[in-house]
Amino acid sequence: MAAKIRGMVFTLLILAVAQAISAEPEFVIQIKNHQFIPAELRIPAGVKVQIVIDNQDDTPEEFESYALNREKHVLPKSRITLFIGPLTAGRYVYQGEDRESGGVALGVIEAR
């Protein structure tokens, strides 16, 4: 019985290590004053990545990209996670909510 439990624990440890090793690289884009920071993000080409959008504003914002085929709403003072890629090398434009004041947050993801 003890050998069976040790075997199960060992298997769980191996699975946890394998998952940690294969985890996608993580990048963070903040939203402050209706602007994306950084406005230009470089990620590796050919790799699936995790992007966290952290809205620090008191109003909702949007992450919209036709090039990446994504449209996500980000509530005030909250975070969302997107998975993109693997992308070919290039530049992928995204934008925020089109505001009545005429301002729109713009950003670019560059895969290299």
| pLDDT band per the 50, 70, 90 thresholds, residue 18 | very low
CA angle 61, 108, 70 (to 5 degrees): 55
Instruction: Give the mean pLDDT of the chain.
Output: 87
| Domain 24-111: homologous superfamily in CATH | Cupredoxins -  blue copper proteins (2.60.40.420)
* Domain residue spans of the chain: 24-111
Answer whether 0.85 is exceeded by the pTM.
Answer: no
The pLDDT tens digits of the residues spanning 42-93 come to 999 999 999 999 999 999 999 999 999 999 999 999 999 999 999 999 999 9
